């Protein structure tokens, strides 16, 4: 079938390759005309994962209309900060039944809406909207290395559609109707990964990192409980699975940002150097506001917020966490 992929970053590039491997006709929207031109002429993305090659089934454009027209499904892979504007631009070209899945992870700052909720506001028809999340680094997926993921939607039919669309012999896809839980996991784990990167950058050991990851999972569960998610989701691929890979992998830009922060660097420096958006930095700000709104404690998230936006020194972060009042692990 014809599938539209909206966003030509690393994940968008990997998704194009995966769908191409399944024999689908893939239309890629790239904001930068030069990327679209290279995809059409050289069958590769010159900026993101440039060694990944496509067949002639993959075409690209910097215009939305030719990409979306005739697509049986739409895959959105734009940074979370641009999802609303992109959805507004997409709306005139989509009919009411076209299924749309979002792979971006985050909460909209200001509204505290999840990405699928933003799409529902702009595109309508919540049942045709889904989200995908899991331990899925683009660098590995684009090489056909074994991975698993979760597709979540309020509609089982929509979840089944995207499960069939993405599933391959190396990319195993599960479904879940707990859309809130899957998206909250995908948002929160990026923040915990920044903290783990700081842990690496300061030279702390495995004990410290494992403690951060475990207490980070507790934060995700607390956030999920406050927003009506299924607690089982946080033990699955979108929760524990994605948390582990994002906190430990060399491919994780969130973990790498934390390591740079520990060494005296800054968020702007990292994004200028890599030309990539660090979703955890955006999510941290949104979760900081949401936690205060809901009246819940997210101590690791608050620490990362202080490091990124309030000038807290990395070496003082340990004291902030370790000197908190003692309590039960179950809280």
Q: Give catalytic residues, as residue numbers.
A: 189
* CB-based burial, 104-138: b 16+ in 10 Å, e otherwise: bbbbbbeeebbbbbbbbebbebbebbbbbbbbbbb
The answer to whether 108 touches 119, Cβ cutoff 8 Å, is: no
SS3 290: helix
The answer to whether 176 touches 266, Cβ cutoff 8 Å, is: no
Beta strands in 136-228 (DSSP E): 147-153, 171-176
| Residue reference for tokens 């948002």 | 187
The answer to whether 113 touches 139, Cβ cutoff 8 Å, is: no
The answer to whether 131 touches 107, Cβ cutoff 8 Å, is: no
The dihedrals phi and psi of 172, each to the nearest 5 degrees, come to -90, 130
SS3 171: strand
Instruction: Give the Cα separation of 163 and 167 in Å (integer).
Output: 6
DSSP string, 67-102: HHTT-SEEEE-S-GGGHHHHHHHHGGG--TT--EEE
The answer to whether 16 touches 35, Cβ cutoff 8 Å, is: no
**For the range 287-295, what are the long-range contacts, defined as Cβ-Cβ under 8 Å and sequence gap of 24 or more?**
287/107, 287/187, 287/188, 287/191, 287/223, 289/109, 289/112, 290/107, 290/112, 290/223, 291/223, 293/112, 294/226, 294/227
Instruction: Give the Cα separation of 200 and 247 in Å (integer).
Output: 10
DSSP letter at 28 equals: E
């Amino acid at each position: 079938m014809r599938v539209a992929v909206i966003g030509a970053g690393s994940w968008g590039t990997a998704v194009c390759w995966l769908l191409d491997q399944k024999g689908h006709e893939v239309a890629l929207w790239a904001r930068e005309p030069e990327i679209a031109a290279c995809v059409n002429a050289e069958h590769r993305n010159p900026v993101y994962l440039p060694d990944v090659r496509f067949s002639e089934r993959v075409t690209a454009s910097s215009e939305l209309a030719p990409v979306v027209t005739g697509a049986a499904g739409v895959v959105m892979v734009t940074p979370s900060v641009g999802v609303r504007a992109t959805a507004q631009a997409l709306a005139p070209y989509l009919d009411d039944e076209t299924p749309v899945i979002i792979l971006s992870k985050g909460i909209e700052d200001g509204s505290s809406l999840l990405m699928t909720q933003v799409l529902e506001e702009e595109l309508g028809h919540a049942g045709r909207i889904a989200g995908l999340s899991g331990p899925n680094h683009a660098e590995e997926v684009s090489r056909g290395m074994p991975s698993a993921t979760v597709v979540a939607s309020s509609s089982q039919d929509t979840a089944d559609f995207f499960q069939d669309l993405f599933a391959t012999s190396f990319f195993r896809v599960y479904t879940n109707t707990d859309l809130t839980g899957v998206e909250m996991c995908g948002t929160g784990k990026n923040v915990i990964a920044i903290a783990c990167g700081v842990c690496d950058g300061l030279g702390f050991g495995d004990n410290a990192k494992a403690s951060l990851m475990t207490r980070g999972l507790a934060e995700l569960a607390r956030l999920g409980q406050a927003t009506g998610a299924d607690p089982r989701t946080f033990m699955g691929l979108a929760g524990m699975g994605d948390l582990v890979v994002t906190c430990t992998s060399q491919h994780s830009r969130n973990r790498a940002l934390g390591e740079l922060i520990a060494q005296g660097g800054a968020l702007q420096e990292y994004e200028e150097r890599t030309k990539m958006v660090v979703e955890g930095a955006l999510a941290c700000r949104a979760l900081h506001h949401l936690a205060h709104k809901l009246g819940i404690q997210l101590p690791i998230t608050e620490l990362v917020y202080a490091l990124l936006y309030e000038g807290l020194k990395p070496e003082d972060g340990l004291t902030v966490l370790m000197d908190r009042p003692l309590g039960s692990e179950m809280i």
